[in-house]
Chain A
Amino acid sequence: MSTNRRIDTLVGGFVLLGLAALLFLALKAGNLGSFTGGGTYATQARFDNIGGLKVRAPVKSAGVVVGRVAAIGFDDQTYQAVVSLSIDERFRFPKDSSAKILTSGLLGEQYVGLEAGGDDKMLAAGDTIRMTQSAIVLENLIGQFLFSKAAEGDKKP
């Protein structure tokens, strides 16, 4: 019986070690505690161009992550991208808040920046954010720059 007990203890330790590793990975590497706790509410925003925005990209306000991009679709009536944002229930934003697509760093991933407005009413589930600003597309920017340079060159002589 004593060898059985020893083996039981060893196997128990083995399984416990595995669970501890899972917990370590979930908490320390995956950051389980901070975000999945509360529920979220869904809002929408329409953009003329989303650039390289991806599903699950963060939604940040003042640099703090307040939600995630839940889905990205296309509306063939207005030819706009429809981005569904799921925002943490703890955070409420005024109805006239504006959404921008920004890039973290020069080459970093793109995210949605929310800027609070001044309305008394708050965004509720299913609302659409009216004011949006599209992603900056480098090619368009270079095109504009070249055009303005060319226009300057015409004026000079």
Chain B
Amino acid sequence: MSAVAARLGAWVLDRLAGIGHGARFFIRLLALLPGALGRPRLVIDQLHFIGNRSLSIILVSGLFVGFVLGFQGYYILQRYGSAEALGLMVALSLLRELGPVVAALLFAGRAGTSLTAEIGLMKAGEQLSAMEMMAVDPMARVLAPRFAAAVIAMPVLATLFSAVGVIGGWGVGVLLIGVDAGGFWSQMQAGVDVFGDLGNGVIKSVVFGFVCAFTALYVGHEAQPTPEGVSRATTTTVVASSLAVLGFDFILTALMFGAA
């Protein structure tokens, strides 16, 4: 009995220490963020790697999500004789939820995993230790620019996702099905609030950028320095950042849109 209690206690203490370790890592990354932005060369290289290389998957997914929203939204709305509200439905669901969330999930899969694998392999190859030996702080030189780039890239990608999705919804709704184009855009413009919907969506995507970047870097940095450890860390990144994004999305949605 006491052995079980001791193990439970050790487990709780372990978790607590893990949370504390993660929080310290996060605060260090935040503290290094201004310094990283002072070395734009490193951040730009990472932006290219994280942002530009994610463009294709984000744009194509956004377009297809918009297509599907157009079809499904039309199917429901035409039953109530309000097919013109399709534009509003597509825009609101993309700006408020789907844009930030799906873009963040794709981002975790596309960019988060490569960050984790990169950092994990650097650690396994003892490159990070070698840097420390040369009195170069790997947190500032390697991790912080990646963190900054991911935090910058996320809202850009989410906004692009929403914009392309709206165009996709327009393509299916107006061009293919034949919803009135004037009603489509005017209902959208009447119902979408620039700060309430678009602004909150961008805030969401910034938060998700922090979540995904931190998860990927932390998991990579804490990976076991073996091939197996790196592969496990890559999996953990996708699972942990996806769950964290969905959890944060629930909290943010409750805070932003819950009362209205």
Contact = CB atoms under 8 A, between A and B. Distances in A.
Tell me, yes or no, whether A binds B. yes
Interface of A is mostly: helix
Interface stretch (A11-19, A75-83, A116-124): A11-19
A69 to B, nearest CB: 13
A17 B39 CA distance: 23
Contacts of A36: 194
Interface string B41-80: 1001101100110010000000000000000000000001
Given A21-B163, A29-B188, A14 B52 contact: yes
Contacts of B260: 55-56
Contacts of A15: 47, 152, 156
B51 A11 contact: yes
B194 A30 contact: yes
A30 B198 contact: yes
Interface residues of A, number: 28
Contacts of B159: 18, 21-22, 25
B117 interface: no
A94 to B, nearest CB: 27
Contact of A26 (B44, B52, B164, B198): B198
A155 interface: no
Interface in B152-208: 152-153, 155-157, 159-160, 162-164, 166, 185, 188-190, 192-194, 196-198, 202
B44 A31 contact: no
Interface residues on B, range: 20 to 34
Contact of A14 (B51, B163, B190, B196): B51
B156 A18 contact: yes
A18 B158 CA distance: 9
A32 B44 contact: no
Contact of B160 (A17, A34, A55): A17
Contacts of B156: 14-15, 17-18, 21
A24 interface: yes
A7 B46 CA distance: 10
A36 B199 CA distance: 14
Pairs A-B, 4 closest by C-beta atoms: A18-B156, A31-B189, A21-B163, A30-B194
8 contacts: A4-B41, A7-B45, A14-B153, A14-B156, A15-B47, A18-B157, A22-B202, A30-B194
Interface of B: 41, 44-45, 47-48, 51-52, 55, 80, 91, 95, 152-153, 155-157, 159-160, 162-164, 166, 185, 188-190, 192-194, 196-198, 202, 260
